[in-house]
Amino acid sequence: MIEYVWAEDKKHQIGVDGHLPWHLPADLKHFKEETINHPIIMGRKTFASLPRLLPKRKHIVLTHNEDLKKKYQTNDQVIILASLEELNQYLQNHRSEKICAIGGVSIFKALIDQVDILAKTEIDGVFSADTVMPEIDYDKFKLIKKEAHPADEKNKFPYTFLTYVRKH
């Protein structure tokens, strides 16, 4: 089972210069809750944007970078895959578990026909960004959960957590 976990602004923007365009502690907490104890799939740039290896998560990184492969070859917390074929083989072998795709755009595009759950944070704002979430056909999904939150002292922007499941 594949779950996308991401946040976007009103223009579907998700990143700038390799990081999030906003600081929203509630979304970071939500991300942790969605991904903890589950493998997370990402591209090399998303992996590089992480502050460190995230605890209690296996990092599956899609990249051709041989240096990265060598660096993590003895680290049980990181799996480096060099192709979409290798990624699809990994997914086939782990079909019964929840696996979270966290970006970037190429990962979201590659798995669009396989994703089962969408865990989206909509941020009520427009930010300076250079990366946009690929288009998703929401007609293929059913909204099962919606939690709206106002801005507060820690979170400067209103935001909504949305969970969709694929219709069968």
> In the predicted model, what is the mean pLDDT of residues 94-108?
95
Q: Residue 81 above 90 pLDDT?
A: yes
148 pLDDT above the threshold of 90? yes
Q: Write down the residue that tokens 């089962």 correspond to.
A: 116
Mean of per-residue pLDDT scores for the chain? 96
**What per-residue confidence (pLDDT) applies to 168?**
86
Q: Between the CA of residue 168 and those of 138, 139, 140, 142, 145, what are the distances in Å? A: 13, 12, 8, 10, 18
Range of the structural domain that residue 10 is part of: 2-166
Look up the CATH number of the domain holding residue 12.
3.40.430.10
The 3-state DSSP class for residue 41 equals strand
Instruction: Report pLDDT for 95.
Output: 85
Domain count within the chain: 1
Query: 136 exposed, middle or buried (CB, 10 Å; 0-12, 13-18, 19+)?
Result: middle
- For the entire predicted model, the pTM comes to 0.95
